[in-house]
Amino acid sequence: MKTVGMVFIILMISCNAPEKDSGKIPEIAVPAIETVELLSAYEARNIIPLSHVANEVEYIRLETEKGQMLRDPYIIDVRDSLILYIAFRQILVFSRNTGKFLYEISRYGRGPGEYIATSRVYEYNEGLFYVYLRDVGDGQKISRRYGIYNIYGDLTNNTNLPANVFTGDSVFVLSVFWPINNRSYIGYVNNSTGKSPVKHAEFLHNGEIVKFHPNYNMIDSKDFFRPPLDGPSESIFYQYSDTVCFYEQHTDTVYSITSGKVIPRFHIHMGDLQLPYKLKAKPDHRFNEVLNYFYLLNLRESSRFLFFTVGIDRYRYLAYYDKRLKSTHVCNVIDNLEFYKYPDYYSVRCIGFDNDIDDFMPIGTNQHFFINGRDEFISIIPAIEVRDWFDKNPDKAERLDDKLKGFNNINPEDNPILAIVSLKN
């Protein structure tokens, strides 16, 4: 290709081209689209007891090994006996029974067996995670190679992303992806020019693209101050059972994705508080106009609930949709609201559930949470907040059971406590 400006013409044609034959893959039954009434739930936000969604809570204090402090997690998975904790330049495994640090998988660097960056891509069913190993290609066409590891540290396979292309006004960036099955992947095409005809690209292990899915959200390029580089917060993949799901910021629909199909799953009704797509054109929108709209992050799903966080007006709220009762709820607090205001110096806090199960700390107050294949909601409680709770609540602390009382010796610099919540089904 002599001019990369032809990239978008090719992509537009490819959107309507027949899919390459990649073998027959069983289709997954997908429920009809459901409406999540977020606007009315936000207006009626209130204190929500944890018992509305959960049966019990297990706490695990993660060992502080040789002063190694855990960073904000990209992935936490709790399995029968092991805990996988992945963060920026950290892939660590702990014992579920004791919280003791067991081993590190690979390490950051550019040598043999090392990685450039960790990622948020994780197959919960298989227990496999993806690590960015190195770049492949030249300055104008660059492909990323990822290694696929299991929780025991074995490198099981490699996969290449389709090449990113940067030339003039034409940009094709595929930075966020998820495995559909053991043969193919779905990638989100960053709409960095506002005019990309493609939203998703399906590709194989070798980076070969087998299908494009069209993009219906466009922005007139004259609105761009500069092309924004969307990070993981702009597009969210998550796995529910055998189904891959996707949500893009500035839109109102969560999709289910199978090989060859992108199917609407949830319509999130946000009314006038939906973040306009045109704000993607403004590089400073996160700190200005975006504060006036809903900003959804961290969607996760269990057999009964769809959980997500909602940012607005410098606060972040934990919310959920009950698929059985067809109802939406947004958590709130009455006291100490300023504690949850978006800070300039500390990790973002989220207003979560009031813990009426064991009368300990609120659950879901960290900006990151996870749901594993056993309908367990996993959230961290930073040590500094545990220390603060004990100092301010001596009467409540005295009524805790012996295990929870034992957390009273925690130091602010220690690693966090993991809360594992058994969800209702």
| pLDDT one-digit tens code per residue, 174-222 | 878 999 988 899 999 877 777 788 899 999 999 999 999 998 887 765 6
For position 10, what pLDDT does the model report? 38
Distance between CA atoms of residues 3 and 18, nearest Å: 25
Give helix then strand counts, H and E, for the chain.
5, 26
Neighbouring residues of 112: CB distance < 8 A, sequence distance ≥ 6: none
Number of other CB atoms surrounding residue 218 within 10 Å: 14
Confidence of residue 18 (pLDDT cuts 50, 70, 90): very low
Secondary structure (DSSP) of 325-349 = TTEEEEB--SS-GGGGSPPSSSPPB
For position 229, what pLDDT does the model report? 47
Distance between CA atoms of residues 290 and 128, nearest Å: 35
For position 175, what pLDDT does the model report? 73
Distance between CA atoms of residues 379 and 421, nearest Å: 8
Spatial CA neighbour of 118 closest among 143, 93, 146, 94: 146
- In this structure, are strands 141-150 and 155-160 parallel, antiparallel, or unpaired? antiparallel
Mean pLDDT of 234-256: 92
Q: State which H helix or E strand residue 73 sits in.
A: strand 73-78
Residue 11 has pLDDT above 50, yes or no: no
C-alpha pair distances (Å), 49 with each of 105, 329, 353, 363, 364: 38, 11, 6, 10, 12
Helix (H, G, I), strand (E, B) or coil at 417: strand
Confidence of residue 139 (pLDDT cuts 50, 70, 90): low
Spatial CA neighbour of 36 closest among 415, 299, 375: 299
User: Exposed, middle or buried, 201 (CB in 10 Å: 0-12/13-18/19+)?
Assistant: buried
Number of other CB atoms surrounding residue 42 within 10 Å: 20
Mean pLDDT of 88-113: 94
For position 69, what pLDDT does the model report? 87
Confidence of residue 276 (pLDDT cuts 50, 70, 90): confident
* Residues 343-381 as b or e (16 or more Cβ within 10 Å = b): eeeeebbbbbbbbebbebbbbbbbbbbbbbbebbbbbbb
Residue 19 has pLDDT above 50, yes or no: no
Top pLDDT among 356 and 341 is at 356
**What domains are defined for the chain?**
4-17+32-423 (2.120.10.30)
Per-residue pLDDT reduced to its tens digit, 350-399: 999 999 999 999 999 988 899 998 999 999 999 999 999 999 999 999 99
Query: pTM of the predicted model, to two decimals?
Result: 0.88
Residue 28 has pLDDT above 50, yes or no: no
Residue 266, both tokens: 């949830």
Top pLDDT among 289 and 281 is at 289
